[in-house]
Structure 1
Amino acid sequence: MRTLFTLCLLLIGGPNRTWATGNLTVDSSTDTSRTNHTGYISIGDGSAQEFEFPENTEGVIVISSRYRGSSRKQTVRVRSLDPEVLSVLNVTAGGREGPAGSFIFSIRSGFPGRAPLQIQLLDRDRDSVPVLIEERTDYFIRVEPSEADAATRLLQSGGLSHFTENPVLFALLPLIFVNKCAFGCKVEVEVLRALLRRPMALLLGVLAQFLVMPLYAYCVSRLLSLPTALSLGLVITCSAPGGGGGYLYSLLLGGDVTLAISMTLVSTVVATAAMPLSSALYGKLLGVHAALHVPFVKILGTLLFIAIPISLGMLIKLRLPALTRVLLVLIRPFSVVLMVGGIFMAYQMGASILANVQPQIVAVGVTVPLLGLLVGAGLARTAGLALPQMKTVSIEVGVQNSLLALAVMQLSFRRVEADFASQAPFIVALSSTSEMLLIVLGSFIWRKLCCPQE
């Protein structure tokens, strides 16, 4: 049997606030929702301890007190033990709007979940500190997801949760494969051997990607007081290995393509150990108790999708010189098409989830690729690397594989929390792609205007 307890809800509808009525649903059919409590304070008739409340809503709840002390000397303190699910805005005496022994506390619901309440009844005296009369922690507010929330609309529109079924991605896959084969033709075996003998550039990339970037994400998320889900999403994104577009940008900006491919492969292998460690460390610091699932299968798939066509391209370079020349001619126009297609696909997939994005995460997401570029360039310059290698290290640190971070979010949390946390990798992916495209265009214009002989 379900008992209905009516609340007055204060709904936010843009710049103006409007009053509306809603129902707080109590499930009293189970043993956990009914207790034989004989204390002073209660919500409703005291027969139920768990109430339902819609997400993203403001409202008020009335607490009754049967304490026989002076009503003017009574006060109540209310605290939500899970502020991300429910926050308590204020507590006031019932006054003329309620019985003498009543108190009204305003609440705001957040993410769907179950928030315990801590309610304290105090007897205050002018000549002494308030005396605790009773404390209750057996009341709960269960915040239920809205039927038309952003995550539902996203699913219905074929957005985030179905990004692998995007038709644009399937159209680009053959182009991506051919382009990776062309990059295999750019690999210089002697340069690869030199990297194995002196792996300084590879080590710098690993250091910056898996130590500096996650630390920056954690510090800036705490500095701006981002919600826990967004903070974790940002940290996981910055813990991801270099993205596959790194060697594409290295080619277009005059970097070392062989180094770029090697750094992407090495960082992806290291990510199998570094991402779980980073997730566990920063998850604990952020107070996230859920088990984080690192998509090892997706990481392996990424490795194979890079290694197979690159190896095929190296074989073509050795055996089929005529086909090699064709691929090398196609590599630049194919790369530009893939960049534009990637931006279009990312905006299309993220349109729904980014409709209600918080300004703080946008500002932070824009800085992540820029910081990665600066950190990579600074470390490479300190190590005395040549300019092409310095460009490549900078690019590889600045461009993360955000799809891996998206996979971690979707595998580890419920849909609503996962989609909210996924704002971070989406913003970082869009920022890095857009910023790198601007850098490529700026470099092209600079060479045409200032270095026409090239």
Structure 2
Amino acid sequence: MRTLFTLCLFLISGADRAWATGNLTVDSTTDTSWRNVTGYITIGDGLSQEFEFPENTEGVIVISSRYRGSANSWKETVRVRSLDPEVLSILNVTDGGQAGPAGSFIISIRSGFPGTAPLQIQLLELDQELVPVLIEERTDYSIRVEPDEDNQATRLLQSGGLSHFTENPVLFALLPLIFVNKCAFGCKVEVEVLRGLLRSPVPLLLGVLAQFLVMPLYAYCVSRLLSMPKALSLGLVITCSAPGGGGGYLYSLLLGGDVTLAISMTLVSTVVATAAMPLSSAMYGRLLGVHAALHVPFVKIFGTLLFIAIPISLGMLIKLRLPALTRVLLVLIRPFSLVLMIGGIFMAYQMGASILANVQPQIVAVGVTVPLLGLLVGAMLGRIAGLALPQQKTVSIEVGVQNSLLALAVMQLSFRRMEADFASQAPFIVALSSTSEMLLIVLGYFVQRRLCGSIVLRSDA
């Protein structure tokens, strides 16, 4: 339920009283306070530049003016603009009709998402022909929109939410399985295939092209087409600028792709991401009008590389030296992978419960299309390049399955908590969509193979 929250922040000369609404109290001042205030226009006593306001609320700001006009002046007025309309929007401006040395103007506002919205306030003088002349402009005032404590998403965030997912016992239970599973994938690596990729790196180049050029461009275009909020649009662009995810080589194994190529593409795209992600995010952030300083989690990227390279290299060594252990690992790879997929989905829903409590419908629609587009683009590029079918499958999978955790880390490091969690809807929706869609594809692939095998057996009989 929307409430009317009125900010009575204007100054009345000679009055010695306080204006209070809700939990916000602003003390007015006497005539002597004007001596400490520079300029003509103020909010409150002019000493505070930031004021609090609850989210999803309508109210007013009252701006005071000490300007009395020149000889040619017909009247004075103000223009007020919110520099972040998604946090705070200006509805209208009316003359407060305040008598005495301090005139006033009533600014009707509506708050949106939590955050801070700087204000641009212009004091204008109008002559008889209504020609505006700028007298003063101030941009040092801002309104901080606070989250509603009764909001379901806010309660979940305050109870722990995303910030404590690293303490999740499920994660610690899965880590040994992940390590063993990656060792098993190392046993699947073919040295000759690696040498072939060094001689002809076309599949690797196709993956980099699609992951860091085509996918971010799609994210930007579709976010503008659907008029998504800026923070959510940037979150989608960052998600689509992420490298291939670790699940790519699992799906390549299950769908008859090239596992060695999949592992190589994941490693290469993760290295390229150290430069491509900040460049892509900065460029599209400027186009979207989001000027946040983005922080690329180099430590996390380096950790990702090590967590892929070390167990896979160990698996390759086991394959050379311990053939009996190799056979055991290859038997375990599929059941372990199934357990990891189920555990990953469980953790993703648990981690994202707070963020997805009030999910935007636009990002749900777009998030479903991102993995599908990546699969389609990768498959088309592989076919155009004349790659073998297993390589086509792998390129398609690597482009369609992004490392959403890296995108999540970028947003959590770059934005304030509430803004970061709002923007993080994008990587969570894309990750959940990708996992769900790939599982359906894997299921369909196995059903098709089973049916085809049954048809062949019947024909032989």
Q: Does the alignment reach a TM-score above 0.5?
A: yes
Letter in 2 for 1:50: Q
- Partner amino acid, structure 2, of 1:210: F
8 Å Cα contact 2:118/2:139 also seen in 1 = no
Contact 1:343 1:430 in 2 (8 A): yes
Could you say what secondary structure the match of 2:141 adopts? Answer: strand
SS at the partner of 2:22? strand
- 1:111 aligns with 114
**Shift in CA distance, 27/212, structure 1 to aligned 2, threshold 3 Å:** farther
Contact 2:297 2:406 (8 Å CA) reproduced: yes
Mapped contact 1:75–1:121 kept (Cα < 8 A):
yes
Measure, in 2, the Cα distance between the counterparts of 1:250 and 1:449. 21
Task: State the distance in 2 between where 1:387 and 1:418 align.
Answer: 40
Identify the residue that residue 345 of structure 1 maps to in structure 2. Answer: 347
Give the TM-score normalised by the residue count of structure 2: 0.83
Task: Return the alpha-carbon distance in structure 2 between the equivalents of residues 129 and 143 of structure 1.
Answer: 34
Matched ranges for 1:7-22 at <5 A: 7=7, 22=22
| Higher-strand-fraction structure | 1
Match for residue 185 of structure 1?
187
Would you say 1:52 and 2:55 are equivalent positions?
Answer: no
Residue in 1 aligned with 2:12?
none
Map 1:263-282 onto structure 2 (within 5 A). Answer: 263-282=265-284
Aligned partner of residue 7 in structure 1, secondary structure: coil
Q: Deviations over 1:272-330 (max 9, x none)?
A: 22223223322333333333221111111111111111112112222222222222222
1:62 aligns with 2:62: yes
Alignment of 1:428 onto 2:430: yes
**In structure 1, which of residues 419, 440, 443 is the aligned counterpart of residue 421 of structure 2?**
419
The residue type equivalent to 1:438 in the other structure is: L
Change (3 A) 1:274 1:133: closer
Q: Distance in 1 between matches of 2:75 and 2:265?
A: 69
Q: Which moved more, 1:200-209 or 1:101-110?
A: 101-110
Shift of 1:80: 1.8
Aligned match of 1:173: 175
Equivalences for 1:197-208 in 2 at 5 Å? 197-208=199-210
Q: Is the 8 A contact 2:356 2:425 kept in 1?
A: yes
Contact 2:177 2:336 in 1 (8 A): yes
**Deviation per residue, 1:182-228 (Å, 9 max, x gap):** 11111122222212211111110011111111122222222223222
Aligned residue number for residue 15 of structure 1: none
| SS of residue matched to 1:354 | coil
Matched, 1:442 2:444: yes
The counterpart of 2:223, out of the listed 215, 221, 228, is: 221
Tell me, in whole angstroms, the C-alpha distance in 1 between the residues paired with 2:446 and 2:27. Answer: 65
Query: Counterpart of 1:54 in structure 2: which amino acid?
Result: F
Which residue matches 1:161?
A: 163
| Distance change (3 Å), C-alpha of 1:35 and 1:357 | farther
Out of 305, 316, 319, the residue aligned to residue 317 of structure 1 is 319
Given that 1:33 and 1:48 are in contact with CA atoms closer than 8 Å, whether structure 2 keeps it comes out as: no
- Cα 1:247–1:6 change in 2 (3 A) is closer
Structure 1, 210-219 or 153-162: larger mean CA deviation: 153-162
Distance 1:397 1:77, change over 3 A: same
* Structure 2 Cα separation of the partners of residues 346 and 208 of structure 1: 25
1:377: how far off?
Answer: 0.6
1:326 aligned onto 2:328: yes
Judging changes above 3 Å, is the alpha-carbon distance between structure 1 residues 118 and 428 closer, same or farther for their aligned structure 2 residues? same
RMSD: 3.3
Identity of aligned residues (%): 79
d(CA) in 2 for partners of 1:163 and 1:369?
Answer: 24
Structure 2 CA distance for aligned equivalents of residues 323 and 47 of structure 1 = 74
Which sections of structure 2, spanning at least 5 residues, go unmatched?
Answer: 9-19
The worse-fitting range, judged by mean Cα deviation, of 204-213 and 77-86 is 77-86
| Matched residue, 1:299 | 301
- For residues 349-360 of structure 1, what are the structure 2 equivalents within 5 Å? 349-360=351-362
Compute the displacement of 1:102 (Å).
5.4
Choose 133-142 or 198-207, whichever is displaced more. Answer: 133-142
- Which of the residues 391, 394, 398 maps onto 1:392? 394
Q: CA deviation at 1:443?
A: 1.6
- Contact 2:122-2:136 within 8 A present in 1 as well: yes
State the alpha-carbon separation in 2 of the partners of residues 27 and 446 from structure 1: 74
TM-score if structure 1 supplies the norm length? 0.85
Question: Is the Cα–Cα contact under 8 Å of residues 245 and 398 in structure 2 kept in the other structure?
Answer: yes
For 2:377, give the aligned amino acid.
Answer: V
| Distance in 1 separating the partners of 2:139 and 2:292 | 23
Structure 1: give runs of 5+ residues left out of the alignment: 9-19
User: CA 1:275–1:292 in structure 2 vs 1: closer, same or farther (change >3 Å)?
Assistant: same
Q: Distance in 2 between matches of 1:219 and 1:439?
A: 27
Q: Partner residue of 1:131?
A: 132
Equivalent-residue separation in structure 2 for 1:88 and 1:329 (angstroms)? 63
SS at match of 1:89: strand
